[in-house]
């Protein structure tokens, strides 16, 4: 545990005129207040506020903040009162302790509403004095460093909260070193196996690359010195969580990452930053698209630096950050590096010249503080404040906050579900734009609507918000049901016409009890899906009806025997007998994906060619919507003693690495599937599109193969093609 004189010495290293008496008084007061209280580790509780204070001395914070850190748990966890703190240490420190105490009193994060209310109060306290945030972050960092003494349930909850809230908040305030440590500690507790695996890889890579890093440092230093630029060059490897997140985001393996090591070049002036960039770019070829100038255009959190990537010594990709010493301090310590708070400024703790990061945080807090309830507030802050986000506006000025990468489709659903469902176009800043345009901060978006429009199912994979995905899924299900209902209605009209019996909605409603369905729509949808056969409906409406042409159980059956493996071969009616057709009618499967037992199927009649069998969900069927006479009501009627294989097609994206195709083929072989054809097309440097025609026993067999492929690391996506 840190001694009293050690705390004072830490502060005096960066602030020789520190108020020793204040620091000593805070130390003694907190030590006596906490007495023999113990933490979960068995250590004296007083050691915790001292460690929080020590973390803040690394950020070189003022005496009042250090004293508040030492005292921050006294009112909450001891007999000390806020009045005593105010009298002993003054209203400035009292306000800081009070802000943190209010938060602690509500810190019931196991309950979502309490967590939201707690966090709302934290942000409102920060809006009054940013030092509340700095103490809170240091408090959370020390708790994360000692998390191993908590129960597994508490470790998981605290680590998740840290990763979702406190680490991003530290990043927003520009305190990168703290953000990275919070992320790594959370990662270590949430996924220890992945953390250890990446650490092991990093250790091996460090041993192998030690000489290369040293060579690059020396080479850069020498080239800059030759141009009269004195620079400090240091190599630095990415942190485990940063590597893991990039692997997840890009679906790549550790070995495929090319920028695990980066180099920081610290120079004296802004002019030298740009001169250094010139030296680097004239010495080595730059990687296109990897140059960013955050000096001329700083980030929202005041971060300033030049980023570039070049092909350096040994054809190695080298990521460089070029900045001045002052920029480096802001990059590491963020808002704390601005020294916003000094003592003795007429009792006013806020200087007029606040940092951009703090101004931005205060404006955002003002917007979010108007949330209806604590749970909404917490959801908004997690999704919109801390993750990369964009803020857009409706034509009437309503603010819509969305995750980075959101499109006008996400915007439409954020406004209202009906707006999203009926969206057909948009204007961005007054100009017609595609609905898939990525939105930028400050965009004004106007959604163009058309009543009766249904969102395409493909939108579900293109949007980034959960609300949009769920709404599109619901609308798609409703549209599919309407399609089945329409198809069922057409099938029944033709069935009643063949039976020479009148068909009406009223007669069908009267037969609902005999059909065991609650509504007419249920009957029509069941017929459209192939779950109920049209002949059964005719007999339910007209019990005296006899179908003389009826064969087998129903006579409207498709019975594929010996289907061609490529899905396009013709078969005589002995293979697929269909009621009402010539027994010699040739049958084929959809050439774009085939059909397998378990699919709901429909036949399309082509005069002179025969009948083509499609799964009911096939997009190709849309071409025949206006030709109901070509639709044939068919179903499977397989002989269990004579199993057959049937054609199917799958499309997948695989990672470009040796052996990936072999792994895919092995999965299909292990599951008794038969590959007929493979087509490959390189999508990007990292991914390949693979289309596979195969034959399987039935839908269950096909789904098992797809599920196993999805579990493979080398496969990023698998979908069935249905034509």
Q: What's the angle, vertex CA 419, arms to CA 416 and CA 420, rounded to 5? A: 90
Question: 272 catalytic, yes or no?
Answer: no
Q: Which residues, listed in sequence order, are joined to residue 718 by a DSSP beta bridge?
A: 652
Name the DSSP letter for residue 636. Answer: B
Compute the CA torsion angle 495, 496, 497, 498 (nearest 10 deg).
Answer: 50
Three-state SS across 548-605?
Answer: CCCCCCCCCCECCCCCCCCCCCCECCCCCCCCCCCCCCCEEECCCCECCECECEEEEE
Question: 180 catalytic, yes or no?
Answer: no
Q: Which helix (H) or strand (E) holds 292?
A: strand 292-293
Give Cα separations from 45 to 8, 38, 235 (angstroms): 20, 5, 39
Place of tokens 């003592």: 343
The closest alpha carbon to 419, from 451, 460, 395, 384, belongs to: 451
Query: Distance between CA atoms of 459 and 159, rounded to whole angstroms?
Result: 34
Token pair listed for 319:
């990521």
Interhelix angle 131-145/91-105, rounded to 10 degrees, is: 50
What counts of helices (H) and strands (E) characterise the chain? 27, 18
Nearby residues of 485 by Cβ (< 8 Å), 6 or more positions away: 521, 524, 525, 528
The closest alpha carbon to 566, from 588, 598, 585, belongs to: 588
State the sign of the Cα–Cα–Cα–Cα dihedral 143, 146, 149, 154.
positive
Q: Tell me if residue 377 falls in helix, strand or coil.
A: helix
> Could you tell me how many residues make up the chain?
723
From 20, 43, 58, 77, the catalytic residue: 77
Token pair listed for 249:
């985001």
Q: Does residue 142 contact residue 51 with C-beta atoms inside 8 Å?
A: yes
Query: Distance between CA atoms of 205 and 635, rounded to whole angstroms?
Result: 60
Q: Does residue 702 contact residue 596 with C-beta atoms inside 8 Å?
A: yes
Q: Does residue 439 contact residue 411 with C-beta atoms inside 8 Å?
A: yes
Give Cα separations from 48 to 43, 72, 74, 196, 418 (angstroms): 9, 10, 12, 27, 52
From 43, 76, 107, 219, the catalytic residue: 76
Which residues are annotated as catalytic?
76-77
């Amino acid at each position: 545990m840190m001694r009293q004189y050690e705390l004072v010495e830490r502060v005096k290293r960066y602030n020789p005129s520190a108020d020793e008496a204040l620091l000593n008084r805070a130390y003694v007061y907190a030590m006596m207040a906490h007495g023999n209280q113990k933490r979960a580790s068995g250590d004296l509780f007083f050691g915790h506020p001292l460690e929080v204070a020590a973390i803040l001395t690394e950020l070189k914070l003022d005496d009042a903040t250090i004293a508040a850190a030492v005292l921050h748990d006294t009112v909450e966890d001891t007999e000390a009162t806020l009045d005593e703190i105010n009298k002993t240490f003054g209203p400035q420190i009292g306000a800081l302790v009070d802000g943190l105490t209010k938060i602690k009193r509500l810190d019931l994060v196991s309950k979502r509403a309490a967590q939201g209310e707690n966090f709302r109060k934290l942000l409102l306290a920060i809006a009054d004095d940013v030092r509340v945030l700095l103490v809170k972050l240091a408090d959370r960092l020390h708790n994360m460093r000692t998390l191993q003494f908590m129960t597994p349930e508490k470790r998981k909850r605290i680590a998740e909260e840290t990763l979702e809230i406190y680490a991003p908040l530290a990043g927003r305030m520009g305190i990168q070193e703290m953000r990275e440590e919070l992320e790594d500690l959370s990662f270590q507790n949430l996924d220890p196996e992945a953390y250890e695996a990446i650490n092991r890889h990093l250790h091996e890579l460090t041993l192998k690359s030690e000489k290369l890093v040293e060579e690059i440092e020396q080479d850069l230093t020498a080239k800059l010195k030759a141009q009269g630029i004195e620079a400090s060059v240091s190599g630095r490897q990415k942190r485990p969580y940063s590597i893991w997140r990039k692997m997840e985001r890009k679906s790549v393996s550790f070995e495929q990452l090319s920028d695990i090591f980066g180099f920081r070049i610290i120079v004296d002036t802004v002019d030298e930053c740009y001169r250094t960039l010139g030296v680097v770019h004239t010495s080595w070829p730059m990687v296109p698209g990897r140059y960013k100038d955050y000096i001329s255009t700083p980030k929202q959190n005041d971060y300033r630096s030049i980023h570039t990537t070049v092909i350096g010594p040994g054809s190695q990709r080298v990521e460089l950050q070029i900045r001045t010493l002052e920029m480096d301090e802001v990059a590491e310590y963020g808002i704390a590096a601005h020294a916003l708070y000094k003592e003795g400024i007429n009792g006013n703790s806020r200087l007029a010249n606040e940092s951009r990061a703090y101004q931005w945080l205060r404006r955002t807090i003002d917007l979010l503080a108007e949330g209806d309830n604590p749970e909404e507030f917490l959801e908004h802050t997690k999704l919109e404040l801390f993750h990369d986000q964009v803020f857009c506006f409706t034509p009437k000025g309503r603010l819509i906050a969305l995750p980075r990468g959101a499109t006008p489709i996400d915007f439409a659903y954020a406004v209202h579900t009906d707006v999203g469902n009926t969206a057909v176009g948009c204007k961005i800043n007054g100009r017609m734009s595609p609905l898939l345009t990525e939105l930028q901060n400050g965009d004004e978006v106007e959604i163009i609507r058309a009543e009766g429009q249904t969102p395409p199912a493909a939108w579900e994979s293109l949007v980034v918000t959960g609300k949009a995905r769920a709404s599109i899924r619901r609308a798609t299900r409703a549209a599919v049901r309407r399609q089945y209902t329409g198809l069922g209605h057409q099938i029944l009209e033709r069935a009643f016409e063949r039976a020479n019996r009148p068909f009406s909605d009223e007669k069908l409603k009267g037969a609902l009890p005999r059909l065991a369905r609650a509504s007419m729509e249920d009957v029509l949808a069941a017929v459209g899906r192939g779950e109920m056969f049209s002949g059964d409906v005719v007999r339910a409406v007209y019990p005296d009806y006899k179908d003389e042409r009826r064969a087998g159980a129903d006579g409207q059956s498709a019975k594929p025997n010996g289907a061609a493996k490529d899905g396009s071969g013709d078969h005589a009616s002995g293979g697929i007998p269909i009621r009402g057709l010539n027994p010699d009618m040739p049958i084929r499967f959809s050439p774009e994906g085939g059909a397998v037992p378990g699919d709901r199927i429909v036949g399309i009649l082509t005069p002179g060619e025969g009948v083509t069998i499609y799964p009911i969900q096939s997009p190709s069927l849309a071409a025949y919507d206006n030709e109901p006479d070509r639709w044939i009501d068919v179903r499977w009627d397989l002989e269990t003693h004579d199993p057959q294989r049937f054609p199917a097609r799958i499309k997948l994206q695989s990672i470009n690495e040796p052996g990936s195709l072999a792994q895919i083929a092995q999965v299909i072989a292990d599951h008794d599937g038969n590959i007929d054809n493979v087509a490959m097309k390189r999508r990007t440097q990292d991914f390949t599109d693979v289309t596979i025609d195969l034959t399987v026993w039935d839908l269950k067999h096909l789904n098992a193969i797809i599920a196993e492929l999805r579990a493979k690391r080398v496969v990023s996506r698998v979908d069935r093609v249905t034509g």
